[in-house]
Amino acid sequence: MEDLEVHCLNLLDFNVITFLRYIDDTFAILPNDRVQDVVDAFNSYHPRLKFTYELENDNSINFLDTTVIRDDNRLITNWYRKPTFSGLYVNYFSGHSVKHKSNVVKGLVDRALLLSDSRYHESNIEIVRSILSNNCYPVKFANRILKERIREIEYRDVVTTNEKIKNSELNRFIKLPYVKNISETLVDSFKRYGFRVVFTMPKKLDCIIGRRKDKLDDEKKNCVVYKFDCANCESCYIGQTKRHLKTRIDEHMSNIRKNSDNHSVVSRHRLNDNHEFKWRDVSILHQESNVKNREIAEMFHIKRHNNAINSMRDTENLPSIYDNILTNT
């Protein structure tokens, strides 16, 4: 799904403000008049894939177990139960352990409070009481577990807030490998943004000795940032992929056969300038399994290559601190 998203979002000529996914459910914020453009881009990925969508109604939309609500200039949530929600849980008079039954109460309290804005807490707790009553939970038992769980959540919120404050004040540091004549220039740049820089030596014992393991062919590597050059001019393209590099390059090569509305910047360069790329000479610039770190590395390398044909939105999410660093290195 990750590569599908990257591919389809790159087809758009505008930036999707928010794009979140849990398994196969997606939540997105975008202009009203561009919804169909997004759906068409995703449905063009493969003829067997059919994406559907739901729009907000009365400033709210249901997503997973929450109702997301537009409240002035912010989003709030409330606990959502589907129309098919039966309200049936482990009955108090069943043969389950008391621990199991108390966990039922705690689970309901968690949903009622943690999925909701504080303005809905009181009404949601009343819903929990009603559900427990319908499942034969004694009032005394239910109230005791309810109060215990609410206190635990309130205490956890206080501790979490204090930890965040402490971490933001004391632990804002970045660890980087030391590179002579370059690392020194980074210290002041990061310091202006409130970060301390900790340098490490890049070479370890296994780098010196080496490992007795066959080197993997570049085209079989995955989770990489890559670059390929134009054979007819100085232009290049930089991208990232989770899959095998060969699979992604094959997609670049075949994209030109799609409808012109779905052409990538690579295909447009090939068609508009009648140029071709060096498909057999692809360079791996970086390898990173974490998708967020990989995307930052991709944006970093695009910024470093003035001849990259990537669109502007490929780097618009790069934190501004990197602009300052790039101009000083």
- Indicate whether 93 belongs to any domain: no
**Residue 109 near residue 125 (C-beta atoms within 8 A):** yes
Tell how many helices (H) and how many strands (E) occur in the chain. Answer: 11, 10
36-43: which pairs have CB atoms within 8 A and are 24 or more residues apart? 37/12, 38/8, 38/12, 41/8, 41/9, 41/11, 41/12, 41/262, 42/4, 42/8
Mark whether 14 and 36 lie in a shared domain: yes
Nearest to 317 by CA among 35, 74, 17, 31: 17
**Number of domain units in the chain:** 4
Residue type present at position 229: D
Question: Do 141 and 201 sit in the same domain of this protein?
Answer: no
Residue 85 lies inside a defined structural domain of this protein: no
86 occurs within a structural domain: no
Residue 89 included in any domain = no
Mark which of 49, 79, 109 sits at the end of a domain.
79
Q: With respect to residue 64, please indicate whether it lies within any of the assigned structural domains.
A: yes
Q: 322 and 225, same structural domain?
A: yes
CA-closest candidate to residue 252, choices 261, 92, 240: 240
pLDDT for position 254: 92
DSSP characters for 69-114?
EEETTEEEEEE---TT-------TTSSS-HHHHHHHHHHHHHHHHH
- Judge if 277 and 307 occupy the same domain: yes
Question: Would you list the DSSP string of 51-67?
Answer: ------BTTEEEETTEE
Nearest CA-CA partner of 187 in 168, 173, 208, 167? 173
Residue 131 covered by a domain = yes
Same structural domain, 52 and 111: no
For the chain of 329 residues, list the mean pLDDT of each consecutive stretch of 10: 81 84 88 88 87 90 92 90 92 91 93 92 94 95 93 74 55 70 72 74 52 66 94 95 92 88 90 94 91 87 89 71 59
Residue 301 belongs to a domain: yes
Could you tell me if 159 and 109 lie in one domain?
yes
pLDDT at 208: 45
Cα separation, 182 vs 318, in Å, equals 20
Domain residue limits at 145? 98-164
Q: Is residue 90 part of a domain?
A: no
Q: Is the CB of residue 309 less than 8 Å from the CB of residue 315?
A: no
Distance CA 294, CA 224 (A): 7
Six token digits for residue 299: 């944006």
> Measuring CA to CA, which residue among 322, 297, 309 is closest to residue 226?
297
